[in-house]
Structure 1
Amino acid sequence: MFSTSFTWNDFLFLLEGAWVTLQLTTWAILLGTVAGLLFGLMRALLPRASLPLAWVLDVFRSVPLLIQFVLFNSLKSIVGLNISAFTVGCIVLGVYAAAYFTEIVRSGVLAVPFTTRRASRSLGLSYLQDLRYIVLPIAMRVAFPGWLNLVLSVMKDTALVMWIGIVELLRASQIVVTRIQEPMLVLCIAGLIYYVMSLVVARLGARLEKRWQEND
């Protein structure tokens, strides 16, 4: 007969950790999307002038995220910044997301055929009008699947914030495992919660993309 020490309160504790995970993901994606959109346009439209920016973003893409968390959290203490660990997590994840979204946006902008842009200019559109009404709509549709995958990736990467003291879903599951000593059960439940969150995001993204296409 199956028996467990896992209680309803343990499940609620995991859900609280999941809520922290969703908050971290939301703030990081907001920061990463805004910054990545700006940086991506700069990289696509001003490739030479934005070369130093590309080098900086390469660092954030290349250095493991865990190292970035530890270094930034240590730097915060050294400099004396009075910000919470949650804020540190949002900033690091946001910059990390921006580094990747920059390349997604850049590739989307460069995917717009030059003949399309030349045709829009021949119709009398200014450079900014061409960018707003022609380039960005096409580029965003090209970039959207990559952005959605980035959201799902950041959601999983939030598990690394446990190393700077944030109790998100994975850390919450470890606390429960330490108490009841049933790792298989607890981790399966935590994995199921991750799956449900990812499934909801993926389904919402697919529905948005489908509606986007229907409005063409």
Structure 2
Amino acid sequence: MTLKLTFWSLGLGLILALPFSFGQVYGGRIAKGIIVVYERLFRSIPLLVILFLIFYGFPKINVRFSPFTACILGLGLRSAAYQSQIFRGAIQSVSETQMRAARSLGMSRLQGFRHVVLPQALRIALPGWTNEFTIVLKDSSLAYALGVTELLRQGGYIISTKYEPMLIYLSVAVIYLVITLGINRGLGTVEKKLAIPGFAVKEQIR
């Protein structure tokens, strides 16, 4: 359940973050303003409050979510705000001449972004995105507050059967550690394989 929460939330955040980052770099004043408000709003409110607002607030307008869905929405919407900044920085790291070259070949701005800028930006953004994965994984423990049986809540159930709390919580901590280190190692390998040759050297010269 913890892994489901993490991957679904990251996926939702990624789907929202890519158009947000495009709008922040290439959008007009209104689009940029809306995205900035969204980003600052979700980065400023504690995640637990966001989860409560979604789970307990939406029923007031006759929209109800299951605890699992509410957690994915809360984690995903908050992650989108952070991921949009990761991708915005990565997009701005790609030279503007790349987009000008794409436009000179007859591509629209969106086509140039999709086929030329985005593939390079994704590689650059991978280290920051790996860090966001770690954050979302750990924050998924807050689903405990809505009754989702993720790793921490399952540990609580085991403790209620008279097991030693310290032993169980240490076990939970070790599981989080193993998952985090394992996936970070895997993403680190992908990062090395997708690294743009000479990019780091070029940045150091600057």
Specify if TM > 0.5. yes
CA shift digits 1:178-206 (9 cap, x unpaired):
33251211111111111111122112211
Distance 1:118 1:90 in 2: 38
Indicate if the aligned counterparts of 2:51 and 2:74 stay in contact, CA closer than 8 A: yes
Higher RCO (CA 8 Å, separation ≥ 6 residues): 1
**2:153 aligned to which of 141, 165, 171:** 171
Deviation above 4 Å: which 4+ runs of structure 1? 119-122
Q: 1:82 to 1:215 in 2, by over 3 A?
A: same
**Alignment pair present for 1:32 and 2:1:** no
Q: 1:138 to 1:25 in 2, by over 3 A?
A: same
CA shift digits 1:109-165 (9 cap, x unpaired):
11112244445555x352444323321122111111111111111010001111111
What displacement does 1:52 show?
A: 1.7
1:1-216 equivalences in 2 (<5 Å): 20-46=1-27, 48-50=29-31, 51-121=33-103, 124-128=105-109, 129-213=111-195
How much identity, in percent, do the aligned residues show?
A: 33
Greater C-alpha radius of gyration: 1
Unaligned runs of 5+ in 2: 199-206
Distance 1:166 1:121 in 2: 48
Indicate if the aligned counterparts of 2:13 and 2:83 stay in contact, CA closer than 8 A: yes
Distance 1:146 1:125 in 2: 32
Unaligned runs of 5+ in 1: 1-19
Question: What is the TM-score of this pair, normalised by structure 1?
Answer: 0.83
CA shift digits 1:46-80 (9 cap, x unpaired):
15232122102211111000111111111133223
Q: 1:119 to 1:78 in 2, by over 3 A?
A: closer
The secondary structure found in structure 2 opposite 1:83 is coil
Pairwise CA RMSD of aligned residues?
A: 2.1
Letter in 2 for 1:39: F
Letter in 2 for 1:34: I
The secondary structure found in structure 2 opposite 1:179 is coil
Question: What is the TM-score of this pair, normalised by structure 2?
Answer: 0.86
Moved more, 184-193 or 108-117: 108-117
